[in-house]
Amino acid sequence: MIPATWKYVWNNSADPRVVRAHTLADAARAARPRITLSRSEGGGPVLAYGGLPQGLTYVLPFLEQRRGGASHRVGRGTTWADLMHGRAAPDADILAVGVLGDRVPAQLPRHSLLLPFRVTLAVPVGPDSQDVLGRLSRKARQQHARELRSHSRTLEVAVRDDDFAFFYDDMHQPTMVNRHGDAARSEDRDIARVCLFERGVLFFLCESGRRVAGMLCRLEGRTLVVRLAGVARGDDQAYASGTYLAMYVLILQWAAEHGLTRVDLSGCEPFLSKGIFQFKRKMHPEVALPGNHFTGKRLMLQVRRDSPSVRAFLAANPVFAIGQRQGFEAVYFHDEDHPPRLDLRWNCPGVRGQRLVHFDDFLALLPDAARQPPAVPPNLP
């Protein structure tokens, strides 16, 4: 197996042998965990992340982006005992701990929630491609039909090497830089070519014959996995015009017409405020644990201090929590000053319902010292 293929398989395969090996490697890497403290020049809660190192790629950057402002981090070594009990980050307002599922304590620390580390979103498809439209709201169906006609939109399947180069260099890379900057996550070019293009399908959305967007997908049995996307030159206008929604709908219909049974839309962090989730929710996907190594990872979210900025942050970012029953639960924090963000909707298969949690109840037993915002050093680390 060439290095590019092995790297992709290691990070993405649902093969139980690969998942088991990855889990063992994760346990070894996290034997001596680290804690990273993050402050913002613009204020907001002091965040901390510790435990499994993947959280520095997925969890902490998302929390920092939602807090806003330039982030300043400082890290150090700690122990699992101090992480689990919150002692590892005494200055943190909110502590997130990435942990393997078998290390989650039977009794969570007080003022904590247990979340999946990531969730995956997938749409089952049948032999009738028109059933795909039935998953959309009436408003979304009308917009799709209207713009399909007005923009003369069609779906192209591309197979040449120069098609891949055009997609990766002129669509995907500019889009990642424009949308995410230094926080962009993607596959490098060799992996994308060998593991996706040569083992999948490259789609272009055309308007009046001109390529305006593309998606590179991998075929895994009868499942089509959406992996990389981009718009021409990374142009923001494409996001406002319904281009991506049109492309997803046409790809879902293509999958149904070609005998596939499932389209994996890829995953995201377990927060309803994640823009990718709110966008893909329009297609009514099933929300589940990922099939790869993330399936056994969990995120413990603990509130360490009560303050107006902490309440504002948590109210703005409802979560998917893991409860006693099968499936996830949408949890919304609120109080008299922070109404629950019910506009961030959860309604998808795999999410069994919602729970409203009042801050005064959730934080009732915090010590008095934890009800004041922490002092911020004059020189941020």
pLDDT of residue 323: 78
pLDDT of residue 182: 65
User: Would you say residue 285 lies in a domain?
Assistant: no
pLDDT of residue 375: 47
- Tell me whether residue 108 is exposed, middle or buried, using C-beta atoms within 10 angstroms of its C-beta: 0 to 12, 13 to 18, 19 or more: middle
Domain ends where: 260, 280, 313? 260
208 phi-psi bin (left φ>0, alpha ψ -120 to 50, beta other): left
**Does residue 113 sit in the same domain as residue 150?**
no
Query: Any idea what the CATH number is for the domain that residue 153 is in?
Result: 3.40.630.30
**Does residue 27 sit in the same domain as residue 99?**
yes
Q: How far is CA 63 from CA 95, 96, 168, 171, 369, in A?
A: 11, 10, 28, 27, 24
pLDDT of residue 379: 47
**Does residue 107 sit in the same domain as residue 132?**
no
CB atoms within 10 A of CB 141: 14
**Does residue 78 sit in the same domain as residue 174?**
no
335 phi-psi bin (left φ>0, alpha ψ -120 to 50, beta other): beta
**Does residue 85 sit in the same domain as residue 182?**
no
Per-residue pLDDT of the chain (381 residues; tens, 9 = 90+): 567 788 899 999 999 999 999 999 999 999 999 999 999 988 899 999 999 999 999 999 999 999 998 899 999 999 999 998 888 999 999 999 999 999 998 888 889 999 999 999 999 998 766 678 888 888 888 888 888 888 899 999 999 999 999 999 999 999 988 876 666 678 889 999 999 999 999 999 999 999 999 999 999 999 999 999 999 888 777 666 688 889 999 999 999 999 999 999 999 999 999 999 999 999 999 999 999 999 999 999 999 999 999 999 999 999 999 976 778 999 999 999 999 999 999 999 999 999 999 999 999 877 755 665 544 444 443
Domain ends where: 260, 275, 305? 260
**Encoded amino acid at 162, one letter:** D
User: Would you say residue 311 lies in a domain?
Assistant: yes
Domain ends where: 243, 260, 277? 260
**Does residue 218 sit in the same domain as residue 309?**
no
**Does residue 133 sit in the same domain as residue 231?**
yes
Number of domains observed in the structure of the chain: 2
Q: State the residue range of the domain holding 154.
A: 126-260
**Does residue 140 sit in the same domain as residue 241?**
yes
